[in-house]
A and B are shown apart, each in its own frame.
Chain A
Amino acid sequence: MTQLITLSGNPPSHTPEPPPRWRLIDVDRPGGRPLVFVVKGSRLFGVERDLFEALQAGVADAERVLMEAVGETPRGQDFAARLPEPAAISLNIAQSCNLSCTYCYADEGRFGGKAQFMAVSVAFQAIDRLIDGAQGRKVTVGFIGGEPFLNREVLYESVAYTRERARAKGCTAGFSATTNGTLINADDVRLLRDNGFVVSVSLDGGAILNDRHRRASSGVSGFDMALSSLRPLLENPGKARVAVRATVARDDLRVAERIEELAEAGFTEIGVSPLRTSPDARLVLRDDDWQRLLEEMIRASEREWRRVRSGAGFRFSNLAIALKQLHAGSAKPLPCGSAANYVSVSAQGEYFTCHRTIDDARFSLGSTADGLSMRQRESFLNARHVDRQEPCRACWARYLCGGGCHAEVLSAGRSGCDYIRGWLEYCLEFYDRLLQEMVLRERPDLLGREVI
């Protein structure tokens, strides 16, 4: 029986060929089996080689055997009947920054406008709407900018206010902050620790790698400034969790070295992201860079394999997160929670789909004064559904990737899709290897949930 995959929503009328139902991944390591990744439900199977070869040859019987064995198609990737209110917001409390990084999408935090600071009344209004809408679910308030610690007063008051309001409404509150780390003082460390902040620090690597683009206006090393401020938090994070994210620009695509240097500096969760949009076009990755970046990502992951093999935990968060999602069979029609579970608030109190789209009218979702616009959220999300994107709907990796960052895609189009697919295919093979050689043997805890 051949199963037809039903597309969510209305497929475009000019369907040239049906979207792929699975991806065949040959595995040539000793003792390994070839893999079949079934797109719907992100289900991964190992198969005997004869079946694999028959599937490669397109033998109808083999396809029937596969579809029967993989069982029911899980629930479609449709949206819920009605969008729930977001449970997370980010507050752009300081649309200004003390650094002047060459590649910054936010243009020193000003998002192309002039430097602005959020008033405490705006923050409170956004927090009130968040907690009222959450209906008892856990809420998360993020602080971003610019550099949020430039508006410390509003940050502190917002944390206290969120706690108080959450307690009154019987829900729990979590906090996050994205920071360059250079302004954090002893009181801030206490605030971050005591309130269990998820702190996302932007640093590109060690002093030389980092300071190339992340410049302090005074000319001192941004790396040294950040490290000296963050040292107490790294040494004793308390309830906080500290992660670091490095931006990879095209003038230096190395990944493994960045991870080594940042681990050396005391970070335990280290991620990278390639530069896709920037005021300085010379730094943005171009078509011929992606293959080299993929090689760098794989080189870094193989180092990670050897580390984990020797008993350590993961620290390369791109890999660790991909593995967790592949393990859980995560399948999503959107790249992230923006406009759905998460929205961002500008210094002036306007809602936008996320922190990358602040002050861009195409992504506006209403204001804290009038409330979030459900209509705008729905129409945005419906338009962004990956099954309605080209060339996404013909891609086997579409429910893993979700179609790419809305902000980047809408401003610069899609690039590096082969890189994404190459990376995901590598992660699928890595996952299988991890399962067979570690998880199923001596380390059932590695993926966070016992597997037998």
Chain B
Amino acid sequence: MAKIFPLNLTARAAAIVPGNPVTTRLEGGVGNCFPGLEFDHRNLDRRFFPGLVFAMGSSTGAPLVAVDAADPDLSPAKFEGLPADAPPTAVQTALRLALNGAEGQALGEGGWSLDSIAQGGKTITLSNLDGMIAWRLVRSLEPGPVDIVLTRAAGQPRRITLNGWRRRFVSTRSGVISEAYQPGELTQSLCSPWMHDFRDCACTYWASNHPDIVLGEQALGADPDPVIEETPIDWLRSDRAAARTPAAEGTEAGNRDAQMDHYEINERWQDLSMVLQGHENSRVFSPRDVEAANPFASTDGLARELVKLCKLEQTVALEYLYALYSVKDASQVTGKNFKDAVTFVRHEILAIAVSEMRHLRWANQLIWELEHAGLTTQKFGPELGLSDKVPNEGGERDRALRPLTPAVLTDFIAVEKPSGTLDGAYARVLATLRQPQYPEALKQLAERILADGMQHFTRFREIERVLAPFATGNPPAYLQNLTKASKAAGKAAVDLYKGILADLESAYQSGDMEDAARIADARAAMFTLKNEADKLAKAGTGVPYF
């Protein structure tokens, strides 16, 4: 019995403990993916039941791959002088006779797999489990008695029950591994190439260079294709032909069959695409304009631009909100596709308008942060005014509340176009905020606005695509008649709108946008405004915001 206990670190370091440290035990090893890089436990467990060899971790259950009637653990000689390791003699004899007799012969014919394992009064059925799970359950068996049932599904269905024991993998006396294992058997799967680990690793070791779901490659020079922009695809897909790229399934299992498998990835790993800004890319990468944009010379210049952008954000948000009510709702059209199309379009336009309102808030926050940090020489915000002009293809147009005709939709696409005026302006804002004198958070805010802007563009393109089949006729079939409400009819709505602006102006004045009460008031008023707008729309009129 121990009488001496090391306490401090030097005592622990000096104290001599017999045997190898626990970290050198086979079962203490850490596998990296399966097959492992250090030790593959499956090679140990494949012979967990003396006399039989299973394939562990294969696609389903645990198939029997061989009968080894000469397994030394079936012989009493193996355990001479080792009573602690020895199975009960009767069990050993019965198993040896069974595997050398009729049962062994039947099992040798093939097609068998492990149906269940039982130990300590508990039985677990493995037959329909995933191979990895079946293996995990076998792995949890303790040394000692085990009963197993094997079944054969093909040919003549049959069941065989065998009473045995879980092998002691190493001798308790010598620490030597059971000689049932053939030379090379324990290491047979260890020379796997790195690609296997790359393919299978489930612990996100490869996370940064192993994306799962990506977006496809956009054609060079052209405006981005909204379908590509919005369709997630599986990065590991085996069929790399662009024309046949389907959308990825929502689950790992759903994508598994169409992915490169082990042998294939050994050969073709270099075909996997580089992914930049979420997109696969096979050519020389050309950065978006933001990389090349010129920073503003002064913070005041930056703030002045943000003021302009605030006005523009609000103006386009109102144009979108107005146009939304010119699209018929589902009750006004017939046919499932048409109903789906207008429901989708109304939802999308509202979502874009809401997003523009969020940009209005963020742009105001940028102004406030710049002022608060003492970076501007004068006060610029908050800005809740409107812009007279809106950028257009090749120039500017007057702001206008208009129904969503194809021409108006083209205008909307133009203002949100990547590297268009709005996008280009934010690119300059971002380029400025990337300079070291500005707080990091501002840069991130500008990046978010820029990324959202890209989505607006693709969403409008998607709207155009969805409406195209229903755009026949003049006016197009999806449109309903909409004119600006008279001053008197629109007064309730316009008053609400002005109230919202007053609340926001007050909220944006104070601190770090922390006047939550005024913002909450503004939000509540927006719901009432929506009800008013719905009412007006029923009469074929829209809110006369300006």
Contact = CB atoms under 8 A, between A and B. Distances in A.
A328 B3 contact: no
Contacts of B3: 47-48, 50-51, 65, 69
Contacts of B6: 43-45, 70
Interface in B7-32: 7-11, 13-16
A255 interface: no
A45 B10 contact: no
Interface residues of A, number: 31
B219 interface: no
Interface of A: 33, 35-36, 38, 41-48, 50-51, 65-66, 69-72, 74, 326-329, 331, 431-432, 435, 449, 451
CB-based closest 8 A-B pairs = A329-B10, A43-B11, A71-B14, A46-B5, A69-B4, A48-B3, A44-B8, A44-B7
Given A38-B11, A65-B3, A69-B15, 7 more contacts: A41-B10, A43-B6, A44-B8, A46-B7, A50-B3, A74-B10, A435-B7
A276 B7 CA distance: 34
A70 B15 contact: yes
A41 B4 contact: no
B11 A44 contact: yes
Contacts of A74: 10, 13-14
B354 to A, nearest CB: 43
A45 B7 contact: yes
Given A48-B3, A65-B3, A328 B8 contact: yes
B5 to A, nearest CB: 4
B5 A45 contact: yes
Contacts of A50: 3
Interface string B52-74: 00000000000000000000000
A305 to B, nearest CB: 18
A327 B8 contact: yes
Contacts of B7: 35, 44-46, 431-432, 435
Overall SS of chain B's interface? mixed
Contact of A329 (B4, B8, B16): B8
Contact of B14 (A36, A72, A326, A327): A72
Nearest to B6: A45
A326 B10 CA distance: 9
B408 to A, nearest CB: 59
Given A65-B3, A66-B4, A45 B9 contact: no
Looking at B8, B13, B15, B16, which has the most chain A CB atoms within 10 Å of its CB?
B8
B465 to A, nearest CB: 58
A304 B7 CA distance: 22
A188 to B, nearest CB: 26
B14 A42 contact: no
A51 B8 contact: no
Given A71-B15, A72-B14, A327 B4 contact: no
A327 B11 contact: no
13 contacts: A43-B8, A43-B11, A43-B14, A45-B6, A46-B4, A48-B3, A66-B4, A70-B4, A71-B15, A327-B8, A327-B9, A331-B10, A449-B9
A46 B7 CA distance: 7
A329 B11 contact: yes
Given A51-B4, A65-B3, A70-B4, A41 B14 contact: yes
A328 B16 CA distance: 18
A210 B56 CA distance: 76
B312 to A, nearest CB: 44
B61 to A, nearest CB: 39
Nearest to B7: A44
A451 B11 CA distance: 13
A42 B14 CA distance: 11
Scoring B6, B14, B16 by chain A CB atoms within 10 A of each residue's CB, the highest score goes to B14
B305 to A, nearest CB: 36
A43 B5 CA distance: 11
A227 to B, nearest CB: 33
A43 B9 CA distance: 8
B423 to A, nearest CB: 42
A240 B11 CA distance: 35
A34 to B, nearest CB: 11
A41 B15 CA distance: 12
A51 B8 CA distance: 19
B4 A47 contact: yes
Contacts of A435: 7
A422 B67 CA distance: 72
Contacts of A328: 8-10
Contacts of A35: 7
Interface centre among B4, B10, B15, B16 (most CB of A within 10 A): B10
A147 B13 CA distance: 44
